[in-house]
């Protein structure tokens, strides 16, 4: 998977693309840690080009969400693929994080 950070003022826009790889969760956690280290409290995630995530990657997303919210920040999923959206609904993640239509 590839991770791209687009810095727009106080927002960190994260574009995640590609297929799942075994080292994906560690790379994702390190990438998210970098965003937090930079002090961002507003994060938007683009998952429009991701078909599947491992449970560890989903855990990393939820940890980032929780950390940002505890700091009084904003966390938004800007785009999500239909496959991933279905998975998030089965796991009831849509009850925690609002998903785009």
Q: Which two tokens stand for residue 40?
A: 């961002």
The pTM of this model reads: 0.89
Task: Check residue 101 and give its pLDDT.
Answer: 84
| Residues 6 or more apart whose Cβ sits within 8 Å of residue 98 | 76, 77
The per-residue pLDDT for range 13-43, each reduced to its tens digit, is 999 998 877 777 888 899 999 999 999 999 9
Task: Check residue 87 and give its pLDDT.
Answer: 95
For domain 2-95, the CATH architecture is 2-Layer Sandwich (3.30)
The per-residue pLDDT for range 43-100, each reduced to its tens digit, is 999 999 999 998 899 999 999 999 999 999 999 999 999 999 999 999 999 999 999 9
């Amino acid at each position: 998977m590839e991770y791209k950070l687009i810095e727009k003022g106080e927002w960190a826009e994260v574009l995640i693309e590609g297929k799942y790889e075994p080292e994906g969760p560690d790379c994702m956690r390190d990438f998210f840690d970098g965003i937090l280290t930079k002090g961002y409290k507003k994060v938007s995630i683009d998952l429009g080009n991701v078909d599947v995530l491992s449970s560890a990657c989903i855990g990393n997303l939820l940890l980032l969400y929780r950390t940002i919210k505890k700091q009084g920040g904003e966390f938004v999923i800007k785009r999500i693929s239909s496959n991933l959206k279905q998975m998030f609904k089965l796991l009831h993640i849509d009850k925690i994080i609002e998903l785009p239509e």
